[in-house]
Structure 1
């Protein structure tokens, strides 16, 4: 009987502890963005296609360990909802997938994530995930698959620093340390003004360094954006810039963007092949979750005098 009473008292004493524990949160989210797109390519080919523009779904959440420390996580996948092949490897692809700790010290996480340089563009690229995406004209749009990142808490009310190291995990090439690649940024974020400066050093293991400056200013219904980037491949250095503007009127947002760059000359990637890119677009908001859109993009090829163009209409739904 004494043992039963002791067990009962132990359970009773433990109940308040379990009652104080926070139930881990789980949020399911995502978006479906699909457009009907007509392409007119420099080689004379024309194509009309349905395109899934980085449609995605994910899980994210957090759980408090103490009053000053919490665990957070995010698991996100891209889904190509227009992929005609059921067995295609492109149908589902990994996006940002991390786990980390957050407290008064800031936050630290590990996993797969956009580098600080990629994140620096904020909302300046108005045609992100479309044909006019800056990844076709700038370097630095990297999502590292093995990243360890620390972000400071805000200091001076508006500043924040982000430092990421990327192990090369390739002993045969001498990239076997914890920081074979690095990406770092510092940002200033006030009410209407955003500024950022970043640097990538050998993030992709090719000995390439990229420095990026970004600025965004919001003035009532107008958003203005600017990016300047310089990239060095140890043999040559090239640079480029981008300007963008958006104007909100009722349920519509009118967008224009222009980029000019010589980074294609470095031959870093087959994706970076344009010297100029011009995009015009309009978004019409149907609700908090849904919108329809239309855009037109023309891009001048760097290695020839031709250009590729695309015209699209589409819809996006967020959940």
Structure 2
């Protein structure tokens, strides 16, 4: 390194650590083990003297198992074009008698837009969100209202509780489950049960239909109801980070999103918060957000229901979601 005449610092020197995964001829660095790497200036010339400990820089090196990729949904959301058309791909999201929503999120500001921060789902039907009117802005809510006429659900759950607030700027794994068979609603935060409701919903109701086109087809059989509800068409879609209008975005980062046609147990959620086999029975949609660039989010189940961002996605750098179930 050279400090030019008249300057007090040299050009930047970069330390590159390569092939930590064992590629090439280098031994693999064990996952989640931490190493301290000291780099010391041993000599100097041109009348420069070294100042003891100032000559050494220390680097903490760790090949982390943490999730390191997420997309920002600030003023943005994810659409699913294949779910808005009739066909085999959208049929996977219909006739659901049980469901689990999962996502890892970090909200920057709960007050930027309206009183609601949307995580995922279908507006006024089956939606996982944070906040509501006359409800804490930072509390999770599972809105399983369904349709009062055709598919009555379990309503809005849980009741407001100031002890269940999420913090801005903090990573959370959130999950919500419902089963018509048990009539039980559960909300989990970081793999642990936060709220449970029993005897909710009507087991004789029509199953949930999350794919938009199929939802319309239900009303084609009844012209009166169809006329009543067709104006809700653009809201009756499955989104990530959007519901009702353009003021209820998540306003934060999202990764590891999943939809299941079963109600996952607490143990299953805890064990697979940060990764799961894409071919696990019951998993119908899985978006890892590991692309790191671009506007298309791949569906890891192989079903082809890729997500498409409404606007150009931002991919924040320096993402690291610690795996709480491995600590």
Report the TM-score, using the length of structure 2 for normalisation.
Answer: 0.22
User: Is the strand fraction higher in 1 or 2?
Assistant: 1
Which protein, 1 or 2, shows the higher relative CO under an 8 Å CA cutoff with sep ≥ 6? 2
Bigger Rg over Cα: 2
